[in-house]
Amino acid sequence: MTGTFAGALAARRIDPTGLVGHARGEIELEDNVLVIKRIHVEYSGVAVPEDKRDAADRALTTHQQACPVSRSIEAAIEVTTAWARPADS
């Protein structure tokens, strides 16, 4: 997903250098089997110029639909994303 998001940023002329994705999975016991139910990915490491913030937010909102991994698991696992942007970006 991080690579797809980086590509979405680059397509909007936002330099994705330094982009990092941190994923956290939530696992539940189902019929005595551990099952991944939710994955949350938080991106950080990219300073976005003020005039590109709307474009970056659109990239965050739409990149999952272009991501092969997200599309492959979306029926079974809820995937959410967020962006921990620096306050001065």
Instruction: Tell me the pLDDT tens digit for each residue of 21-41.
Output: 999 999 999 999 999 999 999
> If you average pLDDT over every residue of the chain, what do you get?
92
Quick one: which of 41, 38, 42 has its CA closest to 73? 38
Q: Where residue 18 sits, what CATH number does that domain have? A: 3.30.300.20
Say if 79 falls within a structural domain.
yes
Q: What percent of the chain has pLDDT over 70?
A: 94
27 DSSP β-pair partners:
36
Q: How many domains does the chain have?
A: 1
| Residue 88: band (very low, low, confident or very high) from pLDDT cuts 50, 70, 90 | very low
- Inter-axis angle of helices 53-62 and 2-11, to 10 degrees? 140
Amino acid (one-letter) located at 55: A
* Alpha carbon of residue 72 to chain centroid: 15
Give the phi and the psi of residue 27 in degrees, each rounded to 5. -115, 140
Show the domain range for 78.
Answer: 2-83
Say if 88 falls within a structural domain.
no
Say if 89 falls within a structural domain.
no
| Residue 85: band (very low, low, confident or very high) from pLDDT cuts 50, 70, 90 | low
More confident residue, 47 or 85: 47
